[in-house]
Amino acid sequence: MQETLRGFADRLLGRGDAAITVPVMDGVLKPNRALEEAAVVATLEGLDDLAWDGSTLWASAGPLLCRIDRADGHRALPVQRFEREITALAVQPFCGASRSAVALGGTQLRMLSLEGAAPPPEGNALTLEAVAGQPLRSVNALAFDAMGRLLITDGSAEHDAGQWCHDLMSHGATGRLCLWDPPARQAEELARNLRHARGALASSDGSLLVSESWRHRVLRVPYPTAPGATARGGVLGPTARGGAPRVTQVGELPGYPSRMAPAADGGFWLSCFICRTQLVEFVLREHACRKRMLREIDPRYWIAPALSSGGSFLEPLQGAGVKQMGRLKPWAPPRSYGLVLRIDRQGQVLSSLHSPAGGKHHGITAIADTGDALYAVSKGSGRLLRIPLTGAGAAA
């Protein structure tokens, strides 16, 4: 009842979730060109996800699983081709690449052994297609925890993995965070009713982090300590069944958070695959206009974020994002953007890397910290970027 009254008051006064304001990129979020000017080490069609096992960098590109040979000019070596697109990838850290997991088409998880590694004890093709009686529909991120269990974000129960824009513009709130224990052949939900879960990470303090994209935040979810001690009430429930509250670790972000990767010196890196604009925030709150747009207009030309832009004159104008005298104004609100955030253990943003409006390295969907460098996938351009973390030219 209290939430209903608060929602009504917000809509009446234009505040809270009803506000169309967007956090200002200033301070540590001040735009730069670190991503735009990063070294392009590989170009792959369908490039989407990365995984680092402590010695080898792995990448997914469409149906291909590739090993990135860092010693040979970052050559992408195909390891295995699957029958469907890989929508998420994870490799168990520091185990000789002996165990990996892929999500195929967003609907099936498959455990497998990688080249040169012994098969996992439970077999080389263990699969998962449903959790808690509900089929997987939109698996978009995977991560192993320290016990070898697999964290899964299923972005939506209504839209496929590639239809994230449909989920955003239809106010999707059917995402979930799941946990799969392959040796025990058990899987369970840890949180449900998330507004597009799109990234997960096992924190060093024993809790779990999950990106809730459409609410522009990263949640801290308690780890299940006993069978049944999971969060069943959705994000509005104040606590999990075990009694520990779920809290916002990072909130009020200027972009929509996506996959995460542990930072070599503590904390984590967070990719924001698209950024917020006041125009999109306005359309999301004008329900009659939004619903008519979804019904009548080609999705390519919706007033909505995109992984890349500038390729067609038919794209919707984004407010001030218009070229004048052949130049794009530096304050132009972007239809697509490239953004990576460095977050400390307390959830504070330490630094940021950008590819601003008018750039090419937009749609950052995955990152990997190898200690000496940060690798980032620009899905909008199909490029793998390398940003040095040590020596001359290191990222701040």
More confident site: 352 or 322: 352
pLDDT at 318 over 80: no
* Residue range 260-280: mean pLDDT, rounded: 92
pLDDT of residue 126: 87
pLDDT at 226 over 50: no
Edge-to-edge strands of the sheet including 338-343? Answer: 255-262, 268-275, 338-343, 349-355
pLDDT of residue 227: 40
pLDDT at 284 over 90: yes
Residue 198 confidence class, pLDDT cut points 50, 70, 90:
very high
pLDDT at 350 over 90: yes
Report the distance separating Cα 69 and Cα 76, nearest Å. Answer: 6
pLDDT of residue 14: 67
Contact indicator for 281, 22 with CB cutoff of 8 Å: yes
Query: Does residue 362 sit in helix, strand or coil?
Result: coil
Amino acid at 197: A
Cα 177-183-188 angle, rounded to 5 deg: 25
DSSP codes of every residue in 322-333: -EETTEE-TTPP
pLDDT of residue 235: 37
Report the distance separating Cα 221 and Cα 209, nearest Å. Answer: 6
* pTM (2 d.p.): 0.89
* Residue range 174-179: mean pLDDT, rounded: 96
pLDDT in tens, 92-116: 864 444 689 999 999 999 998 765 4
Count helices and strands in the chain by DSSP H and E runs = 4, 28
Closest alpha carbon to 246 in 209, 280, 273: 209
Report the distance separating Cα 118 and Cα 229, nearest Å. Answer: 34
Query: Does residue 3 sit in helix, strand or coil?
Result: helix
pLDDT of residue 238: 37
Instruction: Classify residue 101 by its DSSP letter.
Output: E
DSSP codes of every residue in 6-42: HHHHHHHHT-GGG--------GGG----TTTTSEEEE
> Which of the residue ranges 19-28, 117-126, 284-293 would you say has the lowest mean pLDDT?
117-126
Query: Does residue 301 sit in helix, strand or coil?
Result: helix
pLDDT of residue 1: 63
pLDDT at 32 over 90: yes
Cα 136-118-42 angle, rounded to 5 deg: 65
* Residue range 78-99: mean pLDDT, rounded: 82
Report the distance separating Cα 200 and Cα 213, nearest Å. Answer: 12
Residue 18 confidence class, pLDDT cut points 50, 70, 90:
low
Q: What are the backbone angles phi and psi of residue 7, rounded to the nearest 5°?
A: -65, -40
Contact indicator for 359, 338 with CB cutoff of 8 Å: yes
pLDDT of residue 54: 87
pLDDT at 210 over 80: yes
Q: What are the backbone angles phi and psi of residue 61, rounded to the nearest 5°?
A: -145, 100
Give the position of tokens 């999500």.
Answer: 103
Closest alpha carbon to 340 in 262, 270, 241: 270
Helix extents (H) in 55-120: none
pLDDT in tens, 135-155: 999 999 999 998 889 999 999
Contact indicator for 194, 235 with CB cutoff of 8 Å: yes
Report the distance separating Cα 144 and Cα 91, nearest Å. Answer: 7
As a dihedral over the C-alpha atoms of residue 128, residue 132, residue 133, residue 136, rounded to 10 degrees, the angle is -50
Amino acid at 244: A
Closest alpha carbon to 77 in 49, 117, 44: 44
More confident site: 2 or 390: 390
pLDDT in tens, 354-387: 999 889 999 999 999 999 999 999 999 999 999 9
* Residue range 49-73: mean pLDDT, rounded: 93
* Residue range 334-338: mean pLDDT, rounded: 91
* Residue range 219-233: mean pLDDT, rounded: 61
- Residues in the chain, overall count: 396
Report the distance separating Cα 101 and Cα 179, nearest Å. Answer: 13
Amino acid at 379: K
Closest alpha carbon to 175 in 189, 162, 157, 161: 157
Whole-number percent of the chain with pLDDT over 90: 64
* Residue range 1-6: mean pLDDT, rounded: 65
Work out the number of other CB atoms within 10 angstroms of the CB of residue 256. Answer: 24
pLDDT of residue 50: 97
